[in-house]
Amino acid sequence: MKNTNSKSKKMAHIILIICVYFSLITPAYCFSSARSFYLQYKRDTEHVKTLNAELICNSRFLTDAEINKVNKLQDGKAWNVKVSIDDTLPYSSGIPVSVVGMNNLKGLNENIIKGHFLRSDKSRKKLTCIISQKLAEQLRKNTGDTINIRGINVTISGIYSSITNDQSIKMSYGTMRQIYDGCYYQHNFTGDNSTMDDLQRTLEEMDENVMIFETEDKLSEKNQVKNFILEMIGTRMFAGAFAVAAGVINIFILMISEIEERKSRYALMLAVGARRKHIFIDLVSRYLYDIIAAAILMIISFKRIST
- pLDDT tens across 1-20, in order? 445 556 666 676 677 667 66
Q: Which of 95, 76, 104, 101 is nearest to 170 (CA)?
A: 101
d(CA 252, CA 265): 19
Cβ-contact 129, 154 below 8 angstroms: yes
Instruction: Evaluate if residue 134 carries a pLDDT over 60.
Output: yes
- Give the pLDDT confidence score for residue 183 in this predicted structure: 46
What is the pTM for the complete model shown?
0.36
Comparing 273 with 106, the larger pLDDT belongs to 273
Q: How far apart are CA 185 and CA 228, in angstroms?
A: 45
The answer for residues whose C-beta is within 8 angstroms of residue 83's C-beta and 6 or more apart is 98, 99, 100, 101, 176, 180, 183, 184, 185, 187
- 39 pLDDT more than 60: yes
pLDDT tens figures, 194-211:
555 665 565 555 554 444
Q: Are 15 and 287 in contact (CB under 8 A)?
A: no
Q: Tell me, what's the pLDDT at 162?
A: 67
Digit-coded pLDDT (tens) for 233-269: 778 777 777 777 777 777 777 767 666 666 777 677 7
Contact 125, 153 (CB under 8 A): no
How do the domains of the chain map onto residue ranges?
Answer: 2-52+222-306, 64-215
pLDDT digits (tens, 9 = 90+) for 279-302: 777 777 766 666 676 667 666 655
Please say if the pLDDT value at position 186 is more than 50.
Answer: no
Question: Which stretch, 7-16, 26-35, 106-115, has highest mean pLDDT?
Answer: 26-35
Among the residue ranges 70-84, 91-105, 195-209, 262-276, the one predicted with the least confidence is: 70-84
Provide the b/e sequence for 131-163 (b: ≥16 CB within 10 Å).
bbbbbbebbebebeeebebeeeebebbbbbeee
Residue 155 reports pLDDT greater than 60: yes
Bridge partners of 112, per DSSP, are: 160
Q: 147 - beta bridge partners?
A: 154
